[in-house]
Structure formats: C-alpha cells, structure tokens
C-alpha cells in the first residue's frame, strides 16, 4: 500500500539545495496515513478556503490551508522612499512547521509567485533566520508555529497605486508533511498609519544582516582539514566566530551541485562538510553562510578551498 509520509530524505536526494517533492511520497514512516485518507486531505488542501474579509485596508483576508493547520495573508506596513513594506504572514498550529529557503533533510522550500500583480517592478522576499528542527530524527531548517516573510515591493510608477498578488506554495508538517498552496491579493496603501507596521518591523529584525567583508575578515576564521584517515580525501572546514555575539548555529548554502552539513563543535565554533559536491572538484567554492545568535543573525559569503584529491 502506498503511504503519504514525512520523508527522511537523504542529502543525496537533492536537486541542488532542494529536496524533490516526490521525496515526500515514500515508504512507511512513523507519521503516515493511507493514500485514501491522504487523497481526501490533499483535495481539501489545494482548495483555497478564504476566511471572511476584514475591513483593514493594510491586510488581505486570510487564506486557509491544511484543513485549518495553516493560513496565510498579505499585510502592508507603509510606503517610503519609493518602496512599499509588505509581508506574507503565515500562521500554523503550535506544533506544525514550515521551511526556510534551504529546507534541510526534509520538506521543500517555499515558492513565491507574484504573477498577476499590478504596477510592481520588483518584489523581494526576505527570509528570517531559521531554526534547526528535529523532526523525528531528521534535521530540518525552518519555523515552528508560523513565520512572517517581509517583502520589499518596488512599483513601476510610484505615482500610481500598486496591487500585490501572491501565489504561495509551501509545505506544512505536523503529523504528516504535505504541500499546500495559498493565494492572497492586496492593494498597497500609499498613506495612512498601518496597524501591521510593527509586525513587519519585528519580522525584518529577524532577517540576517549582511556582514561587511571587513567584518568577515576580522571576525571569521576558516581553516581547512580532512576527515578521518579512512576518508582522508573528503574535505571539511572549521569555522570560528570571533565577534562579540555568542553564536548559536550556522547554516551553509552552496551553488548547484553542492550541499553542506554544519554542526556546532564548541563555543562559537562549527564544522562544515560537503555531503554533495562535483566529482574530482579542485579549486574554490563560494558558500553562503548564515550565522545566528539569540537576538541577531548575520549572512556572509566565504570562498572554501578544495585541494585536489590524491
């Protein structure tokens, strides 16, 4: 019998940094249900059951997914210097999770489509720093209970109103892991005092700051090494953070064909190991790193040197 379950997919089951959606249809796992029940659930999930519209001009109505486990809406915070502050707000049940742009060993990253928007030249989605989540022995990167993704919206013509339309594909995992789709539209107000402004500011404060190259050189020490003698050809690196902020976690993203595991090895120190890399690669690869602390996070890029295998 085919089972729809949360997938303990291997890092090698990726396409680049993504876990394939097909990996979510696997053999039995500890959170499973029969395909008959799953079919009914999926049919319900993909129907967009919008809740009653609100009178707030700074927020769209809620769009409900996953049989009430998840809901999403667009909110607006204001218009300043030719850019709208907006966000997509995701509410989940307390134990449910959704994923960062790098999902880890399970799930799929969110996908944002702004097709159908009016007078929008660009909509840039910002990602709050993720948490490392233990999902039944599987490591995932994302958010539990909900998340707000800030969106910087640049209009084509700042003198005319802009209408933001979002179709949002994401995964919701609680007892099972399922793909869902939400849709919301909002005419972005050019003036007025938004009641959603504080929520958007709070979400933006969770987005990692770009660490200038001078600060990277000052505060980040990276050194290369090798694994155990039995696997001496496999590269790995040690990263030590010298900044004043106590570091909690490190996440690493690579170009297509690369995937990294990171682990904390001591106070402010971490290991980086490629679990996927091109065969016979030698040279330098750029890793996009996100370093998190209790109240702050940083993002920076480091070149990692890979020696030619003997």
pLDDT tens by residue, 288-298: 999 999 999 99
Band of residue 107 on the pLDDT scale cut at 50, 70, 90: confident
Token reading at 5: 């379950």
pLDDT value at residue 164: 98
Instruction: Check if the beta carbon of residue 284 is closer than 8 Å to that of residue 303.
Output: yes
Cα angle value 217/223/225 (rounded, 5°) = 170
Which range, of 18-22, 25-29, 50-54, 252-256, averages the lowest pLDDT? Answer: 25-29
Band of residue 28 on the pLDDT scale cut at 50, 70, 90: very low
- The domains of the chain are located at 3-205, 209-306
Angstrom CA distances, 246 to 147, 216, 220, 268, 299, stand at 24, 15, 13, 6, 15
Band of residue 226 on the pLDDT scale cut at 50, 70, 90: low
pLDDT value at residue 225: 75
Instruction: Check if the beta carbon of residue 92 is closer than 8 Å to that of residue 70.
Output: yes
Instruction: Check if the beta carbon of residue 281 is closer than 8 Å to that of residue 306.
Output: yes
Band of residue 309 on the pLDDT scale cut at 50, 70, 90: low
Which range, of 2-11, 98-107, 206-215, 224-233, averages the lowest pLDDT? Answer: 2-11
The mean pLDDT value for 150-173 works out to 96
Q: Name which residue leads in pLDDT, 156 or 54.
A: 156
Q: Could you tell me which residues come within 8 angstroms of residue 240 by beta carbon, excluding any fewer than 6 positions away?
A: 220, 221, 222, 268, 269
Band of residue 310 on the pLDDT scale cut at 50, 70, 90: low
Q: Name which residue leads in pLDDT, 165 or 5.
A: 165
Average pLDDT of the chain? 83
Does position 233 have pLDDT exceeding 80, yes or no? no
The CATH architecture assigned to 209-306 reads Sandwich (2.60)
Band of residue 282 on the pLDDT scale cut at 50, 70, 90: confident
pLDDT digits (tens, 9 = 90+) for 44-70: 333 334 444 456 899 999 999 988 899
pLDDT value at residue 274: 93
pLDDT value at residue 176: 86
Instruction: Check if the beta carbon of residue 232 is closer than 8 Å to that of residue 96.
Output: no
The per-residue b/e assignment along 55-86, b for 16 or more CB within 10 angstroms, e otherwise, is: eeebbbbbbbbbeebbbbbbbbbbbeeeebbb
Overall pTM > 0.85: no
pLDDT digits (tens, 9 = 90+) for 180-198: 999 999 999 999 999 999 9
Q: Which helix (H) or strand (E) holds 45?
A: helix 35-45
Tell me which range, 55-59, 127-131, 133-137, 233-237, is most confidently predicted by mean pLDDT: 127-131
pLDDT value at residue 138: 86
Instruction: Check if the beta carbon of residue 282 is closer than 8 Å to that of residue 235.
Output: no
């Amino acid at each position: 019998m085919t089972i729809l379950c949360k997938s303990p997919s291997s890092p090698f089951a990726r396409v680049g940094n993504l876990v394939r959606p097909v990996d979510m249809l696997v053999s039995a796992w500890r959170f499973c249900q029969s395909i008959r029940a799953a079919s009914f659930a999926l049919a319900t999930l993909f129907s967009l059951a919008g809740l009653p519209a609100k009178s707030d001009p700074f927020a769209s109505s809620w769009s409900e997914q996953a049989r009430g486990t998840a809901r999403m809406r667009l909110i607006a915070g204001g218009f300043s210097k030719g850019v709208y502050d907006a966000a997509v707000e995701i509410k989940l049940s307390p134990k449910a999770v959704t994923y960062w742009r790098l999902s880890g060993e399970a799930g799929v990253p969110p996908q944002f489509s702004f097709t159908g928007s009016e007078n929008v030249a660009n909509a840039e989605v910002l990602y709050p720093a993720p948490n490392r989540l233990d999902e039944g022995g599987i490591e995932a990167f994302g958010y539990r209970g909900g998340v707000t993704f800030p969106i910087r919206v640049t209009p084509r013509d700042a003198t005319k109103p802009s209408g933001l339309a979002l179709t949002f594909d994401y995964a919701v995992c609680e007892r099972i892991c399922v793909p869902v789709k939400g849709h919301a539209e909002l005419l972005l107000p050019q003036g007025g005092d938004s009641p959603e402004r504080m929520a958007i500011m709070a979400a933006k404060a969770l987005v990692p700051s770009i660490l200038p190259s001078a600060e990277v050189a000052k505060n980040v020490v990276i050194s290369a090494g090798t694994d155990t003698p039995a696997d001496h050809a496999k590269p790995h690196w040690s990263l030590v953070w010298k900044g004043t902020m106590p570091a909690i976690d490190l996440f690493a993203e690579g170009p297509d064909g690369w995937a990294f595991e990171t682990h904390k090895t001591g106070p402010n120190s971490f290991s980086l190991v490629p679990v996927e890399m091109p065969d016979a690669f030698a040279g330098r690869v750029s890793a996009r790193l996100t370093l998190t602390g209790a109240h702050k996070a940083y993002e920076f890029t480091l070149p990692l040197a890979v020696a030619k295998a003997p």
